[in-house]
Structure 1
């Protein structure tokens, strides 16, 4: 049975064949890929979707395809993945997202990431979750801060060329207790 998470407006679910074309379009959108080193060819996009979905089989969590419940539209992905071993720092699990440009500015990234954090701290019983992005990626950093995450370290991304404005990355982290506090505060205000 596929693992799904429902929020007020969103469905986080396993990937479907029908997600591949809109996901590939996202990978070719220069604005969506602005904080990544390159646009993705269709084969790269399809391979990324397959890896994202396989995480569920190998780890019991992964990068869920994100669907708008009221329309069934594919919006991108949100979920959990192991922090890549080649990155400096403590390792662990990270929460991440990538949404289509049409879905920006509507709170979907925060809503879906909060659901992923609830899964991480509830079902997986993790003590800490990280998020990583380029320092210049202000939109993602704003989501991390809305989630109650705290910036913990800057580092040079080893797979991004020296001189690239994307090379300097930042790690945010949140503990189980801080996530519960942030979630309670969001429930009161939201």
Structure 2
């Protein structure tokens, strides 16, 4: 599989493209369907595509954007090569493909810089061996009084209703 082939249900992959075009052309790529045409695919989710000039990143830089913003590990990134990139770039996340397979046929104005994978969260863990983690280890409280009406609250409510009815009758008579 090449860097321009998207597997079905691909997840956590980020493709970085340099845009060899004028700023006006790059800004136009934010319009619906424009990226689809330049990549030769249809139905991309524009929310999963970032297009911006590298200068907008200021001190963070492209290295920081990919590392801190996209969750790409430092060992995948070449800091010097990323610092050398200027102009406009496009960051294309695999979520843009909506779980569908695709083969990208990019326009010559798009140059693939790299393909990176986001750090995955490890959801595995060891066995918890504390007493509180054992089933039914919570203290068993008393169930006395559960489900029985609170007689004081009911009595006060009845008294308020009687006073309201008595007051209404007094006004009428």
Q: Which range, TM-score by smaller chain?
A: under 0.3
TM-score, normalising length: structure 2: 0.25
> Larger Rg: 1 or 2?
2
Larger fraction in strand: 1
TM-score, normalising length: structure 1: 0.23
Q: Which has the higher contact order (CA 8 A, sep 6+)?
A: 2
